[in-house]
Amino acid sequence: MKALARVSAVAAIGFSGAIFGFFYAWICSTMWGLDAAPPDVAIQAMQAMNASVRNATFAPIFFATPLVIAMAATFAWQSCAPKAAIYFALASMLYLCGGLVLTMVVNVPMNEALANQVIPGDPQKAQDIWQAYSPRWQRFNILRTIASGMTLLLCALGLMALVQTTETGRA
């Protein structure tokens, strides 16, 4: 059971690190680049990126992360590492609410609304569409990035607690 706990803890760190990196990249490069582009180009690019993200590489990381972390919590609990189990359980709930649900409730509907926009030939109309979309989308992306970063931190603390417990035999 201890081996399963450690393997699942490492998987939890990998999954949470991947999704944190994904959200973080939107903050520090992608959206800044789109905001610097002409609005019609930014809209087209965002539409293309949102369409392309629905793929077999992204889906497991996005949807399975809370499950992988919950599995780490379960195996930690079964390995008599309650402190580690608590870290992983908190991490799973945090990502589930602050990453996955937030994305599905806010960012995805915004993306779908943008996908239905026809790029106007009028630069001012394109500017209006982009200005109504980008700042709000970015605010919520910052929230899910913070949540996923804290999830990663909690998973790292969980692994540390798990290793400490399994090596010393103390919870």
Summarised one tens digit per residue, pLDDT across range 11-65 is 999 999 999 999 999 999 999 999 999 999 999 999 999 999 989 999 999 999 9
pLDDT score of 34: 97
Task: Work out the average pLDDT over 118-128.
Answer: 89
Q: Is the pLDDT of residue 171 over 70?
A: no
pTM of the model: 0.93
Whether 77 shows a pLDDT value over 90: the answer reads: yes
**What pLDDT was estimated at residue 120?**
75
**Which residue is associated with the tokens 């989308």?**
137
Q: What is the mean pLDDT of residues 84-103?
A: 98
Question: Does the pLDDT at position 92 exceed 60?
Answer: yes
Distance of alpha carbon 106 from alpha carbon 79, whole angstroms: 38
Distance CA 148, CA 22 (A): 10
Question: Can you give the pLDDT at residue 1?
Answer: 78
CA distance 17 to 156: 10
Residues 132-170: tens digit of each pLDDT: 999 999 999 999 999 999 999 999 999 999 999 877 765
Task: pLDDT band for 117, please (50, 70, 90 cuts).
Answer: confident
CB 111 within 8 A of CB 119: no
* Annotated domain spans of the chain: 2-168
For residues 42 and 40, give the distance between their C-alpha atoms in angstroms, rounded to a whole number: 5
Please say if the pLDDT value at position 118 is more than 90. no
132's tokens: 């109504």
pLDDT value of residue 169: 62
